[in-house]
Every structure is written in structure tokens, then in C-alpha cells.
């Protein structure tokens, strides 16, 4: 039982790290909408050294889920098959865009790949929100851990609200990251104004989403879900106020707290389940009935103890190396 809980917590932490790091990547991609070629070039340059490393967290989280809870992995992939295919397509297009955008001087060429980055950022951001809220709301899963619904069944007012919430939160997070990374005063002023507007919209939607979660799911029977959401709401407000006062680093830290608190709230609402069955609560996939053998979990725990600190050290080193602000002169190198 202890190893099962440990791996539930580890997977939560991995997804938390993924949403925090890849969240501002998605946010930067979303914010490319309506920008000039010069502004887009500066913004893309800001995440150029780190975006691919951030995606490793998703791969690691997926690998940990497959190894620790294989039944969840199998059921989840059959449930979200089309959604995951669309997400994979968007991510492939996004990755190609980062590499190919600067290979030709044609404005049409660059604009095409810029739109690919926008598509490859907005679609996954929304789909992650839809997927997580579906896990909370419950899915038609039978006693054999088979999903009995269709793709359209994954889309409901609540799950679509979750997708919009994630997209707005990531866009706000991305704006704060850019305010820390860019050195052009004109772009900073524009991003500040846009970020403040997105922050207001995001806070309103976040409040509605919190209330909807209480009514659309059964998380209210677990009091532990409520406290993180309160922390998220308070952090959201503090991040917006700090952005308005041009205290961008504290604002970014508060934005990190919002994402971390939201992830914690959702996993707290699920525990000890990983996928909720809307047909029969006893058919839900839990950390017990969906787990690997104790021997497998033990070996994986040893591997995680060795490898996770190495990954964290490398990630920290990467951000230290690329900590400087991006200036217009950097576009020429």
C-alpha cells in the first residue's frame, strides 16, 4: 500500500512539474496570436532553449503511469484515443515549427510555422483541461476496465470549461515568463496589458470552474480538494496584482503556485482513484486494483530515487545557463 501511494504522489508531482514548465511554453505559443513577426521571433527565442526539455516531463509522467499503473494507462489510452492522437499531431507540428521557422526568409513561410506553433500550443492546453476534468467527472468504465463511451461523450459543459480554464491559466503563465525573459520595453508593455486582461478573464473562469467542480464531481466528499483550490484563487489574485505593479518575478512564482495548487486539488479529489467510473463507483480504477506487482513498484522506486535527482539537476542547470533576457541583438545570432 505504501508503494502504491508513493507512486500516486510521484505521478502527481511529475504532472505538476509538466504543467508548470510546459504551461508557460503553451502560454507563449498561444500569445503569438496577433503579434508582428519581430515580436513572435523574440517570444519564440525566449522558449527556444527549453521547450523540448519541458516536454520530457510529459514523457516521464506517462512512462511512470504505464509502469506503476498499467491498467490505467491502457484504459486511458482507449478512452482518449482520438484526443491523444490530435494532441500528438499538434505537438509534432509544433516541434517541427520550432525547427523549420527560421530555415527560410519568406514571410509566408514564417507565418505558416507561427500558426503551427499557435495550433500546437492552444490545442494541447485545452485538451489537457478536458482530459483532467473528465477523470474527475467520471467516465463510463465497466467492470473489465473498458471504456464504453464515444469521443463526443468526453465533451460536456464542465469539461470544456476545464479546457478553457487551462488555456487561460497557461496564457497568463506564459505572459509572466516572457516579462521575465524579454528586454524590449515595447513588447514588455504590450505583454503586460495583454497579461492583465487575460489574468482577469482567467480568474473569473477559475472561480466558475472551482464552483463547477464542486457540483459536477464527487470531490466534495474529500475535503482535501478544497484547500488547494483556495490557495490557487489567492495565488491567482496575488499574481495579477504583482504583474500590475511590475513585480514580475513574484508574479511568476504566484502563477506557479496556482498551477501547483490546481494539480494538487485535482489529484486530491481523485485519491485513491485514478479513473472514476460513472457506471459504478466500485468499477473505478484505483491505486490498488490498477497497480503493478509490489516487486515491480519496488524496483521502480529504486530507479526513481537514482534518476529523478539527476533529471532535476540537469533541468536546473539548463535554466541557469539560459537565464539572461533576450535582446533584439540575439535574433542575429
pTM of the prediction?
Answer: 0.93
Q: Do residues 63 and 307 make contact, with C-beta atoms less than 8 angstroms apart?
A: no
Within a 10 A sphere around the Cβ of 269, how many other Cβ atoms? 24
Q: Compute CA 306 distance to the chain's CA centroid, rounded to the nearest angstrom.
A: 25
- Looking at the chain, the number of H-run helices and the number of E-run strands are 11, 2
| Residue range 11-35: mean pLDDT, rounded | 93
- What percent of the chain shows pLDDT beyond 70? 97
Q: What is the pLDDT of residue 62?
A: 86
CA distance 316 to 330: 22
Q: Do residues 284 and 143 make contact, with C-beta atoms less than 8 angstroms apart?
A: no
Q: Nearest CA to 210 among 184, 191, 236?
A: 236
Residue 139's SS3 state is: strand
Number of domains in the chain: 1
pLDDT digits (tens, 9 = 90+) for 56-107: 888 888 888 888 999 998 898 888 888 889 999 999 999 999 888 888 888 8
DSSP-derived pairing of the beta strands 285-286 and 273-275: antiparallel
| Residue range 103-131: mean pLDDT, rounded | 92
- What percent of the chain shows pLDDT beyond 90? 56
Q: What is the pLDDT of residue 329?
A: 76
Q: Is the pLDDT of residue 223 over 80?
A: no
Within a 10 A sphere around the Cβ of 287, how many other Cβ atoms? 23
Average pLDDT, the chain: 90
Q: What is the pLDDT of residue 63?
A: 87
170 vs 81, residue with greater confidence:
170
| pLDDT level of residue 333 (50, 70, 90 thresholds) | low
Q: Is the pLDDT of residue 331 over 80?
A: no
Q: What is the pLDDT of residue 263?
A: 94
CA distance 333 to 331: 6
Q: What is the pLDDT of residue 211?
A: 92
pLDDT digits (tens, 9 = 90+) for 274-330: 999 999 989 999 999 999 888 889 998 998 888 888 888 888 888 888 888 888 777
Q: What is the pLDDT of residue 178?
A: 95
Enter the C-alpha cell of residue 19.
504543467
Q: What is the pLDDT of residue 212?
A: 93
Q: Do residues 77 and 34 make contact, with C-beta atoms less than 8 angstroms apart?
A: no
φ, ψ of residue 71 in degrees (nearest 5): -65, -35
Q: Do residues 140 and 152 make contact, with C-beta atoms less than 8 angstroms apart?
A: no
- Output DSSP code: residue 277: B
Give the position of cell 526568409: 105
Residue 143, domain extent:
2-332
| Residue range 150-154: mean pLDDT, rounded | 86
Q: What is the pLDDT of residue 90?
A: 92
| Residue range 23-42: mean pLDDT, rounded | 92
Q: Is the pLDDT of residue 1 over 70?
A: no
pLDDT digits (tens, 9 = 90+) for 175-194: 999 999 998 889 999 999 99
| Residue range 115-137: mean pLDDT, rounded | 94
Q: What is the pLDDT of residue 9?
A: 93
Q: Nearest CA to 259 among 154, 153, 321, 169?
A: 169
Amino acid at each position: 500500500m505504501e508503494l502504491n501511494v508513493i507512486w500516486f504522489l510521484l505521478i502527481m508531482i511529475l504532472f505538476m512539474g509538466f504543467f508548470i514548465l510546459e504551461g508557460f511554453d503553451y502560454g507563449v505559443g498561444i500569445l503569438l496570436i496577433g503579434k508582428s513577426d519581430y515580436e513572435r521571433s523574440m517570444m519564440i527565442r525566449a522558449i527556444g532553449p527549453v521547450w523540448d526539455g519541458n516536454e520530457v516531463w510529459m514523457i516521464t509522467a506517462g512512462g511512470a503511469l504505464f509502469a506503476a499503473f498499467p491498467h490505467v494507462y491502457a484504459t486511458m489510452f482507449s478512452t482518449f484515443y482520438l484526443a491523444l492522437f490530435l494532441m500528438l499531431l499538434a505537438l509534432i507540428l509544433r516541434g517541427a515549427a520550432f525547427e523549420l521557422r527560421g530555415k527560410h526568409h519568406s514571410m509566408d513561410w514564417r507565418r505558416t510555422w507561427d500558426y503551427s506553433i499557435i495550433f500546437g500550443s492552444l490545442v494541447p492546453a485545452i485538451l489537457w483541461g478536458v482530459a483532467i476534468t473528465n477523470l474527475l467527472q467520471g467516465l463510463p468504465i465497466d467492470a473489465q476496465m473498458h471504456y464504453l463511451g464515444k469521443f463526443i461523450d468526453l465533451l460536456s459543459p464542465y469539461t470544456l470549461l476545464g479546457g478553457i480554464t487551462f488555456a487561460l491559466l497557461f496564457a497568463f503563465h506564459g505572459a509572466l515568463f516572457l516579462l521575465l525573459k524579454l528586454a524590449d520595453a515595447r513588447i514588455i508593455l504590450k505583454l503586460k496589458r495583454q497579461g492583465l486582461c487575460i489574468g482577469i478573464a482567467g480568474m473569473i473562469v477559475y472561480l466558475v470552474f472551482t464552483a463547477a467542480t464542486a457540483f459536477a464531481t464527487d470531490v466534495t466528499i474529500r475535503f482535501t480538494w478544497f484547500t488547494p483550490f483556495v490557495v490557487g484563487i489567492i495565488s491567482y489574485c496575488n499574481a495579477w496584482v504583482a504583474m500590475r505593479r511590475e513585480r514580475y518575478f513574484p508574479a511568476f512564482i504566484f502563477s506557479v503556485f496556482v498551477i501547483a495548487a490546481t494539480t494538487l486539488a485535482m489529484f486530491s479529489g481523485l485519491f485513491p482513484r485514478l479513473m472514476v467510473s460513472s457506471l459504478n463507483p466500485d468499477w473505478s480504477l484505483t491505486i490498488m486494483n490498477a497497480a503493478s506487482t509490489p516487486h515491480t513498484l519496488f524496483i521502480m522506486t529504486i530507479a526513481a530515487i537514482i534518476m529523478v535527482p539527476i533529471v532535476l539537476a540537469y533541468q536546473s542547470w539548463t535554466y541557469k545557463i539560459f537565464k539572461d533576457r533576450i535582446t533584439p541583438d540575439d535574433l542575429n545570432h
